[in-house]
């Protein structure tokens, strides 16, 4: 048995232990959906970090920086600054007025059924897109990291899928939270160790690291190219690079505060103040992590080199290969296990957010008007949904195959969250005139426009040359209609506009009348759901 | 008579909402402008942003790094404000609950 596999199994055993422990404490609605609302501020800060920092961040951004230098770091910036939107506008009022899902906040003043139905569709869309991207990535990556152990793509996807189903079905939010906390600790320590080793390699002289990054050489089309990785423009290129950057930035800054799997984390703490404190903790951790992506990326570019990384699995392998170059096989195995933990914590968060929204919003409130026919029905439906969501994800990821071009799905998830979810959350909390029609229009327009634009964007549509592998070809082989890879710059304003127009073109005295109650609840925490 | 209206109308609450809105709007506008200046500058003035500040550290890199400090600073500032609002809230709520007990209102 290879060393990475041993470390993977150690993590699996530890998390199954957590799940066993949590399973005994997860009976009852608020225990299952919200971990009894007894997670503390720093614990939730860690869990938010664990929920948020995906393998796309850990391996993907490190790889982008290793191959394109500065432009990759632009992602890092957006991922942290986005939390200011969460902190200033969303976290506390959401905790104070909601129960289990983001739709709770909307349904407070508005007519519950249409609003919850649309919010649930949007939540499931965001979570599914994000999940498919994670699962395909997980399969490719785990099979690569465990290639010595003979584990292929399909086995890796199935393994990851089964684990996340077990965490969520049996351990609910409590197990998910602690898996995320363990992962965050592992990720932060792994990244810190790796960064320290990179700096030690340059004798703790930052200038020397930057000097090395300023002249990075690699092979391109048979010739040796030397580039300055401290300068922008190697990844985002004209004519649309600048607009694409702005569009991506908009999706990150406004989308994070609309990601359902992040929002439900705020229901796991006792009160609004703790929700706020947990965002602050999360910002410290997430910021520290994303600053360190520079060391990982530049380290991989200068110490390992793009040629070696390309020959050993491509961009995503930058960080693990860096670990191997700096400290050998044991450290490679550890960093691989960190990547594995990272994937599992994120997919577990996505599974529970999808199943909570389906059970609480769609099943209970849309289909059964908010009345449980039998006690415990909502939790039972959520457990089954988690199972179905997990099983479907496994099948879709296996069907797509390891070469499928799915990286754009993460960007799309942020774009839908920013265009559909954020406008209606912000309006329902802060705009008295907001109505049900505004919410439905906003959710629908944001969702349809971001997905529609992606379908006609270069991520999905375009003419591939004969050199592109069968599984990696784009779905529509025709010239692109929308030139950017990121729909946010168009779809976010559209989402806000539709929510605004829908409200202006309708009149809902009951929504207006309930604004006073919502405002007082949101700002004071009066009548908020208590810890159990 | 519900117990939301008296709070909503109370001068303390109105004043707190005013301060809170002002603080949040100012901070939000500031961070949005500060953040989007990065892709705009890098995207449209790459030569300017490639200028070296010291050693090989470019203006682009320094500005990107400053975003982390900016985000932390605003978050810290907001936490300070929010603590003040918490104290105001606690006072408003205790006033209301005394009034409610006097008249045997809600919880």
Contact A210 B44 (CB under 8 A): no
Write the residue in B20, B49, B74 that is nearest to A232 by C-beta: B49
A488 vs chain B: nearest CA distance in angstroms? 14
- Hey, is the C-beta of A277 within 8 angstroms of any chain B C-beta? yes
- How does pLDDT run across A204-221, given as a tens digit for each residue? 999 999 999 988 888 877
Q: Between residues 24 and 83 of chain A, which touch chain B (CB distance below 8 Å)?
A: 70, 73-74, 76-78, 80-81, 83
- How does pLDDT run across A441-483, given as a tens digit for each residue? 999 999 999 999 998 988 888 888 888 777 677 878 888 888 8
Return the CATH superfamily for domain A3-524: Sodium/glucose cotransporter (1.20.1730.10)
- How does pLDDT run across A118-161, given as a tens digit for each residue? 999 999 999 998 999 889 888 888 888 888 788 889 999 999 99
Distance, in Å, from the CA atom of A274 to the CA atom of A92, rounded to the nearest integer, reads: 8
Give me the pLDDT at residue A41, please: 95
Distance, in Å, from the CA atom of A524 to the CA atom of A532, rounded to the nearest integer, reads: 20
Contact B56 A77 (CB under 8 A): no
Give me the pLDDT at residue B104, please: 61
B33 vs chain A: nearest CA distance in angstroms? 12
- How does pLDDT run across A223-278, given as a tens digit for each residue? 888 888 998 888 887 777 889 889 999 999 999 999 999 999 999 999 999 999 99
Residue A260: asked if its preceding bond is cis (omega within 30°), the reply is no
Give me the pLDDT at residue A384, please: 96
**Of A348, A358, A334, nearest to A18 (Cα)?**
A348
Write the residue in A231, A280, A526 that is nearest to B79 by C-beta: A280
Write the residue in B36, B86, B93 that is nearest to A246 by C-beta: B36
Give the Å distances, CA to CA, from A505 to A118, A431, A493. Answer: 19, 15, 18
Give me the pLDDT at residue A407, please: 73
- Chain A, nearest residue to B34 by Cα: A81
Contact B68 A80 (CB under 8 A): yes
Give me the pLDDT at residue B2, please: 67
Distance, in Å, from the CA atom of A438 to the CA atom of A148, rounded to the nearest integer, reads: 55
B99 vs chain A: nearest CA distance in angstroms? 15
Q: Helix, strand or coil for residue B44?
A: helix
- Hey, is the C-beta of A225 within 8 angstroms of any chain B C-beta? no
Write the residue in B43, B74, B92 that is nearest to A245 by C-beta: B43
Contact A517 B60 (CB under 8 A): no
More confident residue, A527 or B84: B84
Structure tokens at A208: 């020397």
- Chain B, nearest residue to A230 by Cα: B58
- How does pLDDT run across B40-93, given as a tens digit for each residue? 999 899 889 999 988 899 999 999 999 999 999 999 999 999 999 999 999 988
| Residues in a beta bridge with A449 | none
**Dihedral, CA atoms, A113, A115, A118, A120, nearest 10 degrees?**
-80
Do the Cβ atoms of A173 and A532 come closer than 8 Å? no
Contact B5 A516 (CB under 8 A): yes
B95 vs chain A: nearest CA distance in angstroms? 13
Give me the pLDDT at residue B105, please: 47
Helix or strand run (H / E) with residue A239: none
Whether pLDDT at B26 is above 70:
yes
Helix or strand run (H / E) with residue A227: strand A223-227
Contacts of A80 in chain B (CB under 8 A): 67-68, 71
Structure tokens at A473: 């070809």
- Hey, is the C-beta of A90 within 8 angstroms of any chain B C-beta? no
| Whether the complex's predicted ipTM surpasses the cut of 0.85 | yes
- Chain B, nearest residue to A288 by Cα: B68
DSSP string, A82-101: HHHHIIIIIHHHHHHH-SSS
Contact B38 A284 (CB under 8 A): no
A475 Cα distance to chain centroid: 24
- Cα four-point dihedral sign B68, B72, B74, B75: positive
Question: What rounded mean pLDDT belongs to chain A?
Answer: 91
Contacts of B50 in chain A (CB under 8 A): 228, 231-233
Q: How confident is the model at residue A342 (pLDDT cuts 50, 70, 90)?
A: very high
Contact A253 B32 (CB under 8 A): yes
- How does pLDDT run across A48-75, given as a tens digit for each residue? 999 999 887 788 889 899 999 998 898 8
A 10 A CB-CB count for B29 gives: 10
**Of A177, A180, A34, A171, nearest to A531 (Cα)?**
A34
A525's CB contacts (< 8 A; 6+ apart) are A95, A96, A271, A272, A273, B89
- Hey, is the C-beta of A513 within 8 angstroms of any chain B C-beta? no
Sequence ranges of the domains in chain A: 3-524
Q: How confident is the model at residue B1 (pLDDT cuts 50, 70, 90)?
A: very low
**Of A113, A142, A55, A72, nearest to A346 (Cα)?**
A55
Contact A77 B38 (CB under 8 A): yes
Structure tokens at A435: 């109505």
- Hey, is the C-beta of A525 within 8 angstroms of any chain B C-beta? yes
- Cα four-point dihedral sign A139, A400, A452, B37: positive
Whether pLDDT at A291 is above 60:
yes
- Hey, is the C-beta of A202 within 8 angstroms of any chain B C-beta? no
Do the Cβ atoms of A420 and A162 come closer than 8 Å? no
Do the Cβ atoms of A267 and A103 come closer than 8 Å? no
Give the Å distances, CA to CA, from A92 to A267, A378, A426, B21, B80. Answer: 10, 25, 12, 14, 15
Do the Cβ atoms of A349 and A47 come closer than 8 Å? no
- Hey, is the C-beta of A208 within 8 angstroms of any chain B C-beta? no
Q: Helix, strand or coil for residue A484?
A: coil
A428 vs chain B: nearest CA distance in angstroms? 15
Q: Helix, strand or coil for residue A226?
A: strand
Residue % of chain A over a pLDDT of 70: 99
- How does pLDDT run across A356-414, given as a tens digit for each residue? 999 999 998 898 887 777 778 899 999 999 999 999 999 999 998 887 777 788 889 99
């Amino acid at each position: 048995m290879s060393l990475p596999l041993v470390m993977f199994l150690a993590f699996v055993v530890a998390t199954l232990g957590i799940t066993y422990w949590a399973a005994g404490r997860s009976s009852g609605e608020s225990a299952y959906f919200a971990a009894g609302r007894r997670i503390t501020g720093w614990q939730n800060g860690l869990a938010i970090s664990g929920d948020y920092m995906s393998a796309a961040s850990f391996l993907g951004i490190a790889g982008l920086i290793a191959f394109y230098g500065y432009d990759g770091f632009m992602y890092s910036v957006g991922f942290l600054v986005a939390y200011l939107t969460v902190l200033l506008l969303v976290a506390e009022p959401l905790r104070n007025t909601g129960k289990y899902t983001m739709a709770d906040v909307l349904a407070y003043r508005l007519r519950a059924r249409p609003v919850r139905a649309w919010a649930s569709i949007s939540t499931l869309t965001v979570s599914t897109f994000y999940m498919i991207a994670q699962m395909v990535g997980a399969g490719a990556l785990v099979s690569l990291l465990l290639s010595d152990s003979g584990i292929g793509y399909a086995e890796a996807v199935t393994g990851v899928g089964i684990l996340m189903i077990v965490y969520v079905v049996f351990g609910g939010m409590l197990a998910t939270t602690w898996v995320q906390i363990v992962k965050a600790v592992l990720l932060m320590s792994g990244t810190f160790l790796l960064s320290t080793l990179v700096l030690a390699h340059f004798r703790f002289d930052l200038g020397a690291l930057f000097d090395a990054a300023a002249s990075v050489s690699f092979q391109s089309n048979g010739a040796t190219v030397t580039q300055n990785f401290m300068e922008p423009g190697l990844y985002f290129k004209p004519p649309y690079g600048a607009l694409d950057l702005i569009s991506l930035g908009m999706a990150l800054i406004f989308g994070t505060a609309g990601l359902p799997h992040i929002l439900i984390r705020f229901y796991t703490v006792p009160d609004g103040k703790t929700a706020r404190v947990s965002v602050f903790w999360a910002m410290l951790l997430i910021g520290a992590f994303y600053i360190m992506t520079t060391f990982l990326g530049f380290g991989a570019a200068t110490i390992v080199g793009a040629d070696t990384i390309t020959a050993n699995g491509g961009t995503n392998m930058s960080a693990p290969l860096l670990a191997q170059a700096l400290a050998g096989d044991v450290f490679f195995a550890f960093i691989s296990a960190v990547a594995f933990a990272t994937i599992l914590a994120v997919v577990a968060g996505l599974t529970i957010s999808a199943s909570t929204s389906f059970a609480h919003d769609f099943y209970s409130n849309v289909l059964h008007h908010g009345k449980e026919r039998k006690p415990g029905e909502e939790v039972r439906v959520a457990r089954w949904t988690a199972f179905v969501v997990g099983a479907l994800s496994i099948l879709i990821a296996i069907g797509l195959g390891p070469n499928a071009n799915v990286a754009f799905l993460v960007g799309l998830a942020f774009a839908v969250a920013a265009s559909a979810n954020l406008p209606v959350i912000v309006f329902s909390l802060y705009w008295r005139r907001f109505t049900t029609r505004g919410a439905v229009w906003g959710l629908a327009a944001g969702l349809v426009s971001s997905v529609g634009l992606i379908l006609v964007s270069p991520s999905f549509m375009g003419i591939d040359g004969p050199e592109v592998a069968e599984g990696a070809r784009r779905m529509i082989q025709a010239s692109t209609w929308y030139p950017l890879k990121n729909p946010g710059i168009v779809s976010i304003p559209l989402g806000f506009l539709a929510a605004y127009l829908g409200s202006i073109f309708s009149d809902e005295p009951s929504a207006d009348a309930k604004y006073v109650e919502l405002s007082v609840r949101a700002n004071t925490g009066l009548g908020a759901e208590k810890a159990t | 008579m519900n117990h939301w209206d008296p709070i909503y109308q109370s001068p303390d609450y109105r004043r707190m909402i005013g301060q809170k809105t002002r603080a949040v709007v100012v901070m939000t506008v500031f961070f949005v402008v500060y953040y989007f200046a990065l892709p705009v500058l890098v995207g449209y003035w790459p030569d300017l942003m490639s200028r070296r500040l010291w050693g090989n550290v470019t203006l682009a890199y320094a500005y990107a790094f400053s975003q982390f400090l900016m985000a932390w600073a605003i978050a810290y500032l907001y936490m300070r404000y929010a603590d003040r609002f918490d104290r105001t809230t606690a006072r408003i709520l205790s006033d209301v609950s005394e009034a409610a007990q006097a008249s045997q209102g809600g919880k």
